[in-house]
Amino acid sequence: MTPQQFNKELAALGDVPEIVVRINSGGGDVFAANAIFTRLKDHTAKITVKIDGWAASAATIIAMAGDTIKIARNGVFMIHDPAMTVWDTFRAEDFEKMADELKVIKQSIVNTYAMKTGMGADEIAALMSEEKWWTGDEAVTNGFCDELMFEEASTVVENSSKIVVNSTPIDISAFKTVPKMLLNSPHNPGGLINISAAAKNKPKEEKEMAAVENIGTVDALKAAYPDLVATIQNEAAAAATAAERSRIKAIEDMAGGNYADIVSDAKFVNPCTAEQTAMKIIAEQNKQGGQYIQNRNADTDDSGVNGVAGAAGGGEDGKNPFDAAIDALKFE
């Protein structure tokens, strides 16, 4: 965020009664921060600053522009001395001049903090030299913020130089240290999660969970959790036994004591369900019915009844009375 970009966005707001400035930043260029601070202080609107996650380094200068400064309870507020990056070759006199410049810059920041907090310049300068880190509670207690918000900042320490706060990556490689009091602090509920430290000090349950994730075979599972595997196997066997008993009973109930060969085959030789067994019985019944018709016709031919006088003519309606009688007995 450059001062030029900020100025355009600020001007586009027009004459508004209040401006809410939300900050989640690890800082940046002190001159850009001073310019943004000045523009906010010069605006006629009431300035409400809300620190959603972090306000560190130069970002705290912008925060000081707020008529009211709010911070999440598990937010982070950090002040430190300004620093200068050197990329070229310089003489001793050049470095002395740079040091004097840094002293002037620091004093301007001290003045900004003093206007908000009411602290003395020497006290603020000492805190900056210490690179002071505060939780939301402590930032309010020390006068750099006015009140707490009931919002939580989602903050994760990915490694020694990168922290992600509310999905915003913050480079902390230039900071001297991130104090342990801010990492997994019981006094800062919902605060930072130091993944690196957590990996070194995992509780027993987490280590066991990691071991479970590495189990890739049944034998490995049995070796790691023999009692659990035995319980699962016993329960599975009991369930399978109950299911088999239910299947056999359903077949016997459906057959009603008939078709013993089909029932025996369905129960033990070629196991299947009661529904599948019923289909086999129906097929057998159809087969038996067709065989019955064939046997009846053969018996009729063998009896010679078709050669009996008058049989060909049949009854009054022209039908063979013997065939009609036999048809009446046809297996359905």
Is 213 part of any domain?
Answer: no
> Is the domain of 37 the same as that of 179?
yes
> Is the domain of 65 the same as that of 195?
yes
> Is the domain of 49 the same as that of 177?
yes
The pLDDT score that the predictor gives to residue 331 is 52
The pLDDT score that the predictor gives to residue 311 is 46
Tokens coding 70? 């709010």
> Is the domain of 93 the same as that of 133?
yes
Is 121 part of any domain?
Answer: yes
Is 278 part of any domain?
Answer: yes
> Is the domain of 133 the same as that of 243?
no
Is 309 part of any domain?
Answer: no
Is 324 part of any domain?
Answer: no
Is 208 part of any domain?
Answer: no
> Is the domain of 16 the same as that of 165?
yes
> Is the domain of 73 the same as that of 151?
yes
The pLDDT score that the predictor gives to residue 253 is 83
> Is the domain of 16 the same as that of 157?
yes
Domain count of the fold of the chain = 2
The pLDDT score that the predictor gives to residue 321 is 65
The pLDDT score that the predictor gives to residue 233 is 85
> Is the domain of 224 the same as that of 151?
no
Euclidean distance between CA atoms 79 and 89, whole angstroms? 29
The pLDDT score that the predictor gives to residue 196 is 47
Q: Taking the model in full, what pTM does it have?
A: 0.50
Per-residue pLDDT of the chain (332 residues), as tens digits, is 788 999 999 999 999 999 999 999 888 899 999 999 999 999 999 999 999 888 999 999 999 999 999 998 888 999 999 998 888 888 999 999 999 999 999 999 999 999 999 999 999 999 999 999 998 999 999 999 999 987 555 555 555 555 666 566 666 666 666 655 555 444 444 445 544 444 555 555 566 666 666 777 878 777 877 888 788 888 888 888 888 888 888 888 877 778 888 888 888 888 888 888 888 877 877 777 666 667 767 776 776 666 655 544 455 555 666 666 666 665 55
The pLDDT score that the predictor gives to residue 328 is 63
Strand bridging mode 68-72 / 147-149: parallel
User: 155: domain CATH number?
Assistant: 3.90.226.10
Is 103 part of any domain?
Answer: yes
> Is the domain of 154 the same as that of 100?
yes
The pLDDT score that the predictor gives to residue 213 is 67
Q: Give me the domain span that covers residue 73.
A: 3-201
Cα 291 from chain centroid? Answer: 67
> Is the domain of 292 the same as that of 176?
no
Is 133 part of any domain?
Answer: yes
